[in-house]
C-alpha cells in the first residue's frame, strides 16, 4: 500500500483528483532533492490526520508543519483550501 493509499484510507476513501478537492500532485518548485507532493486541506482535516495518511504515523505532522512554515503559524490552525507541501511523500 502506497502513501497515497494510506492518505485515502485515513481521509475517508477519496480518489486522486476527486471532486472532494483532495490533490496529490508532485511539486516541482520545492527545490529539494526529495520529491514533494501537495495536499489541499479539507474541512475536518488536521496535520496529524494528514500525516497519518501520508506517512502512516500522525506524529510526523511536524514534517508537514516545518515544510509549510511560510503559511502556517501554528500546527493547530489549518484551513480548508490551503495547499500544503507534503515532504518526501513522492517516493
pLDDT of residue 6: 55
Contacts of 11 (CB under 8 A, 6+ apart): 22, 42, 45, 49, 50, 53
pLDDT of residue 89: 74
- Please give the pLDDT value at position 7: 57
Query: What is the spatial distance between Cα 70 and Cα 8, in angstroms, rounded to a whole number?
Result: 26
Domains of the chain: 3-87 (3.10.350)
Q: What is the C-alpha separation between 52 and 56, in angstroms, rounded?
A: 4
pLDDT tens digits along 30-80: 344 456 799 999 999 999 999 999 999 999 999 999 999 999 999 999 999
Amino acid at each position: 500500500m502506497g502513501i497515497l493509499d494510506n492518505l485515502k484510507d485515513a481521509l475517508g476513501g477519496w480518489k486522486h483528483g476527486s471532486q472532494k478537492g483532495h490533490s496529490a500532485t508532485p511539486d516541482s518548485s520545492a527545490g529539494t532533492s526529495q520529491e514533494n507532493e501537495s495536499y489541499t486541506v479539507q474541512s475536518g482535516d488536521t496535520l496529524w490526520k494528514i500525516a497519518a495518511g501520508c506517512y502512516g504515523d500522525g506524529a510526523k505532522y511536524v514534517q508537514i508543519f516545518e515544510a509549510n512554515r511560510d503559511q502556517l503559524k501554528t500546527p493547530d490552525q489549518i484551513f480548508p483550501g490551503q495547499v500544503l507541501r507534503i515532504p518526501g511523500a513522492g517516493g
